[in-house]
């Protein structure tokens, strides 16, 4: 198992896969490459769900976007909520499975393109770690229920959080890879006639990449938030999943590092759909309360598959206890997500 400060070039090769926490994202991530033989490789690749998404952190809005390749279907969703008015704008698009290829070498010239012309929905991401920035472009037309949304954001690697990169086995032969990092964001996002300016000294976009072969039954609770303090990015990636094999995908972003974090608990404080959630770690390093401002979700029941998904958006407050002492968290925008799925 790699040491947390070890760099890995290839996540997988025939007969082998790197496991553990890495110093950074492996250069090439193709989980199915572990399995020799054309048929077995193809079956494992089919079971691997891939997505790249961003949580936006800005004091005047809540928002996130994602591009997903499930092999049988490619899809994308985006939402923005005006924090002052509470007005929520949601858009989505879908395409034939296999049409959205997520590059194995994502960070070095990797391009993600999603375009659903039926809905005037376009989302593009260019990753260029060598140039020191990544770019996000969105152009979505108005619908009957939501205003048009467009944005051009530049995500800067300078001043970004430490990278979280984890490869871990799950139950019943499944496996997970994820990469997460918070980047200072510059640019503009428009919702109808409203314009939001992103200041890289204040605002962030948190990337969430997954290349994961999920168990048939899967459940997780996940949350993330970040802000920029005097010493850089302050935040956390917080996750609990039933099927975890070894390393958790949780960390504290403090002092330019991604400090490993384990044994988390999420506790709803009431039955109301917008009741706050307490988030704590067994070792006392996390003492947080998440207060939702709104929610969105999907619930579908099919013959052999089902999904019950909710994402809450709101604010985190409390204390993080890092290697250099306690750090207060005061009403920082973020999300909390609940997933129950069989697929």
Task: For each of the domains in the chain, give its residue range(s) and CATH number, in order of start.
Answer: 28-342 (2.40.370.10)
* % of the chain beyond a pLDDT of 70: 94
84 Cβ contact list (under 8 Å, min separation 6): 60
* % of the chain beyond a pLDDT of 90: 82
Q: Encode pLDDT of 190-202 as tens digits.
A: 999 999 999 999 9
Phi and psi at residue 65, to the nearest 5°: -150, 155
Indicate the pLDDT class of residue 304, thresholds 50, 70 and 90. low
Q: What is the mean pLDDT of residues 298-306?
A: 63
23 pLDDT above the threshold of 70: yes
Bridge partners for 278 per DSSP? 267, 289
pLDDT of residue 233: 98
The Cα 287–Cα 298 span in angstroms is: 29
Q: Encode pLDDT of 138-189 as tens digits.
A: 999 999 999 999 999 999 999 999 999 999 998 878 899 999 999 999 999 9
Q: Encode pLDDT of 100-153 as tens digits.
A: 989 999 999 999 999 999 999 999 999 999 999 999 999 999 999 999 999 999
Strand 20-22 and strand 48-58: pairing?
unpaired
**Closest Cα partner for 169 from 223, 105, 212, 216?**
212
pLDDT of residue 272: 96
Buried b (16+ CB within 10 A) or exposed e, 65-74: bbbbbbeeeb
Which range among 1-10, 48-57, 274-283 shows the weakest confidence by mean pLDDT? 1-10
- Which helix (H) or strand (E) is 40 found in, with range? helix 38-47
What token pair was written down for 294? 């709104």
pLDDT of residue 228: 97
Q: Decide: 2 and 20 in contact? Cβ < 8 Å.
A: yes
- Which helix (H) or strand (E) is 311 found in, with range? strand 306-322
Q: What is the mean pLDDT of residues 233-251?
A: 85
Q: Is the dihedral of CA 54, 50, 339, 90 positive or negative?
A: positive
340 pLDDT above the threshold of 90: no
Q: Decide: 280 and 264 in contact? Cβ < 8 Å.
A: yes
Bridge partners for 207 per DSSP? 54, 181
Q: What is the mean pLDDT of residues 76-96?
A: 96
Query: What are the distances in angstroms from CA 293 to CA 55, 62, 85?
Result: 15, 9, 11
pLDDT of residue 1: 39
Q: Please report where in the chains the tokens 């706050």 appear, as a residue.
A: 276
Q: Decide: 210 and 180 in contact? Cβ < 8 Å.
A: no
250 pLDDT above the threshold of 80: yes
Which range among 123-127, 197-201, 262-266, 274-278 shows the weakest confidence by mean pLDDT? 262-266
Q: Please report where in the chains the tokens 């709104």 appear, as a residue.
A: 294
More confidently predicted of 240 and 305: 240
pLDDT of residue 142: 97
Q: What are 74-78's contacts with CB under 8 Å, separation 24+?
A: 74/98, 74/99, 74/100, 74/114, 76/114, 76/116, 76/121, 76/123, 78/123, 78/138, 78/140, 78/149
pLDDT of residue 342: 61
Q: What is the mean pLDDT of residues 78-106?
A: 95
2 pLDDT above the threshold of 50: no
314 pLDDT above the threshold of 70: yes
46 pLDDT above the threshold of 60: yes
Q: Encode pLDDT of 205-233 as tens digits.
A: 999 999 998 877 778 899 999 999 999 99
Q: Name the average pLDDT for the chain.
A: 92
299 pLDDT above the threshold of 80: no
More confidently predicted of 243 and 137: 137
Burial class (CB in 10 A: 0-12, 13-18, 19+), 183: buried
């Amino acid at each position: 198992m790699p040491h947390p400060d070890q760099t890995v070039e290839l996540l997988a090769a025939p007969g082998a896969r790197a496991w553990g926490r890495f110093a950074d994202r492996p250069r090439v991530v193709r989980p199915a490459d572990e399995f020799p033989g054309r048929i077995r490789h193809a079956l494992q690749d089919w079971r691997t769900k891939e997505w790249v998404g961003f949580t936006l952190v800005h004091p005047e809005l809540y928002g996130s976007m994602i591009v997903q390749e499930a092999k049988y279907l490619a899809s994308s969703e985006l939402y923005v909520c005006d924090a002052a008015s509470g007005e929520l704008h949601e858009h989505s698009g879908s395409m034939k499975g296999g049409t959205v290829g997520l590059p194995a070498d994502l960070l070095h010239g990797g391009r993600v393109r999603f375009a659903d012309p039926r809905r005037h929905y376009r989302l593009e991401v260019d990753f260029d770690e060598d140039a020191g920035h990544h770019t996000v472009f969105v152009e979505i037309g108005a619908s009957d229920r939501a205003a048009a949304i467009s944005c051009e954001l530049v995500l800067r690697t300078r001043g970004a959080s430490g990278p979280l990169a984890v490869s871990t086995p799950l139950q019943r032969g499944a496996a997970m890879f994820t990469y997460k990092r918070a980047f200072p964001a510059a640019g503009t996002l428009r919702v109808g006639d409203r314009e939001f300016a992103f200041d890289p000294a204040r605002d962030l976009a948190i990337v969430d990449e997954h290349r994961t072969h999920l168990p048939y039954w899967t459940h997780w609770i996940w949350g993330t938030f970040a802000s920029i303090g005097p010493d850089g990015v302050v935040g956390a990636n917080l996750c609990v999943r039933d099927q975890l094999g070894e390393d958790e995908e949780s960390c504290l972003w403090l002092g330019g590092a991604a400090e490993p974090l384990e044994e988390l608990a999420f506790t709803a404080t009431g039955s109301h759909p917008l009741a706050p959630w307490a988030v704590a770690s067994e070792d006392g390093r996390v003492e947080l309360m998440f207060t939702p401002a709104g929610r969105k979700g999907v619930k579908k029941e099919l013959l052999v598959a089902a999904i019950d998904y909710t994402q809450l958006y709101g604010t985190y407050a409390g204390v993080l206890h890092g290697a250099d002492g306690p750090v207060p968290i005061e009403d920082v925008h973020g999300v909390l997500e609940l997933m129950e799925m069989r697929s």
